[in-house]
């Protein structure tokens, strides 16, 4: 941590900061520059120290040197983590594909979709039973009935079931039916929920919040890891920017950057990331080329009549083409889908 003093900071102010740094059990190292004095604080453990030093008199700013996340860091664990869940393998060289409708709507819908996505090469089935909706007047999901249909679809196809958990009180119920829990973008910093999913044995797919930095995403993962669940998959699904031709802006540099910083696998959601069906296939292929460990895609037998997200869902034939495209790109780069 580097404490930068203001120009003209007094000797007393510098001494005071040295004292404070030492009182935290850190070593202080004063460097007198031509215009400013800076103090290096050595041995830091926690981000807290930074905040506390920032309000010191005469302090201009405090620059952290160490990343605030620990367990998620590649510095702690060099080999990439592979999450395995039935036939779905994500990370460590394996690319996994999770596909399915935004919401589970009926037995017919989910079974048909499961069969179609499996035939096209997916290993995971997504489908929401508990739906976080922007408006209280929107369809809120089939709840347990939806979970049962997902389990039925798994029986039929062997696909791993991935479904969202919105509240702590639903965790146990959902664990009875699902193979992987999804924490949605809106709940990325719902820390109590993160702790709750950190205490179960199922892998967790953690979506990046639309205003979250990657450091915040890793710290959210850290809440889960810290409770003992090592199987966290990070998911880029787009951020909020000024762009209005897409629903969100999908920043694929997230993929190689995270691969450089963490051992956790990274998947991309081009459906939410673009918000328009016609942009999904190209962005799915681009995600694979960027090095993604998997994709999560919205697929629906009849998007026009979907109860949610129809405008960004692929029809079966479109999903098939998308898979073909992604497979080619993957193979060109020596990876199998």
Residues 259-318 that bind its own copies (CB under 8 A): 260, 273-274, 277-279, 282-283, 285-291, 303-311, 313
CA–CA dist 216, 210 (Å, integer):
11
Sheet holding 2-5, edge to edge: 27-32, 37-42, 2-5, 59-63
Give the binding range for its own copies (CB under 8 A) out of 81-89, 106-114, 116-124, 256-264: 256-264
We find the least distance from the C-beta atom of residue 274 to its own copies, in angstroms, to be 5
Q: How many CA atoms does the CB half-sphere of 110 hold within 13 Å?
A: 29
Is 91 one of the binding residues for its own copies (CB under 8 A)?
no
CA–CA dist 70, 24 (Å, integer):
20
CA 272 to chain centre: 13
Give the binding range for its own copies (CB under 8 A) out of 2-10, 90-98, 144-152, 156-164: 2-10
We find the least distance from the C-beta atom of residue 298 to its own copies, in angstroms, to be 11
Is 33 one of the binding residues for its own copies (CB under 8 A)?
yes
Is 48 one of the binding residues for its own copies (CB under 8 A)?
yes
Residue 53: count of CB within 10 angstroms of its CB? 21
We find the least distance from the C-beta atom of residue 64 to its own copies, in angstroms, to be 10
Q: Which residues between 318 and 337 bind its own copies (CB under 8 A)?
A: 325, 328-329, 331-333
Q: Which residues between 60 and 89 bind its own copies (CB under 8 A)?
A: 63, 65-66, 68-70, 75
Is 199 one of the binding residues for its own copies (CB under 8 A)?
no
Mark residue 307 as left, alpha or beta (left: phi above 0; alpha: psi -120 to 50; beta: remaining).
Answer: alpha
Q: Which residues between 204 and 233 bind its own copies (CB under 8 A)?
A: 209-211, 213-216, 219, 222-223, 226
Q: Which residue of 47, 84, 152, 173 would you call a contact of its own copies, by CB under 8 A?
A: 47
Give the binding range for its own copies (CB under 8 A) out of 29-37, 84-92, 120-128, 173-181: 29-37
CA–CA dist 45, 279 (Å, integer):
44
Binding mask 148-187 for its own copies (x = CB under 8 A): ------------------xxxx----------------xx
Closer by beta carbon to its own copies, 56 or else 203 = 56
Picking from 56, 61, 58, the residue whose alpha carbon sits closest to that of residue 10 is: 58
> 20 and 54 in contact (C-beta within 8 Å)?
no
Any idea what the Cα angle at residue 134 is, between residues 130 and 137, rounded to 5°?
80
Residue 67: count of CB within 10 angstroms of its CB? 16
We find the least distance from the C-beta atom of residue 194 to its own copies, in angstroms, to be 8
């Amino acid at each position: 941590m580097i404490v930068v003093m203001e120009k003209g900071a007094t000797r007393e102010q510098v001494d005071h900061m040295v004292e404070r740094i030492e009182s935290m059990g850190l070593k202080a190292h004063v460097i007198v520059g031509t215009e400013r004095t800076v103090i290096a604080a050595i041995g830091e453990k926690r981000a807290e120290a930074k905040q506390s030093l920032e309000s010191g008199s005469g302090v201009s700013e405090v620059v952290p040197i160490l990343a605030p996340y620990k367990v998620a860091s590649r510095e702690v664990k060099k080999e990439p983590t592979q999450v395995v869940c039935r036939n779905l393998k994500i990370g460590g060289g394996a690319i996994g594909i999770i596909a399915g409708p935004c919401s589970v709507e009926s037995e017919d819908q989910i079974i048909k979709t499961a069969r179609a996505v499996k035939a096209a090469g997916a290993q995971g089935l997504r489908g929401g039973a508990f739906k976080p909706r922007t408006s209280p007047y929107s369809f809120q999901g089939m709840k347990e009935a939806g979970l049962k249909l997902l389990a039925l679809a798994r029986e039929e196809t062997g696909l791993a079931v991935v479904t969202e958990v919105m509240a702590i009180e639903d965790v146990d119920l959902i664990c009875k039916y699902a193979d992987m829990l999804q924490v949605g973008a809106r709940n990325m910093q719902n820390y109590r929920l993160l702790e709750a999913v950190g205490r179960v044995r199922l892998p967790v797919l953690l979506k990046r919040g639309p205003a979250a930095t990657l450091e915040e995403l890793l710290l959210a993962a850290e809440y889960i890891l810290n409770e003992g669940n090592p199987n966290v998959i990070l998911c880029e699904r787009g951020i909020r920017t000024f762009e209005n031709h897409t629903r969100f802006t999908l920043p694929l540099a997230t993929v190689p950057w995270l691969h450089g910083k963490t051992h956790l696998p990274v998947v991309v959601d081009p459906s939410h990331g673009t918000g328009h069906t016609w942009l999904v296939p190209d962005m799915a292929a681009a995600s694979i080329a960027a090095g993604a460990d998997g994709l999560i895609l919205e697929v629906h037998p009849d998007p026009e009549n979907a109860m949610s997200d129809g405008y960004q869902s692929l029809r079966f034939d479109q999903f098939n083409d998308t898979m073909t495209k992604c497979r080619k790109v993957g193979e060109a780069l020596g990876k199998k889908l």
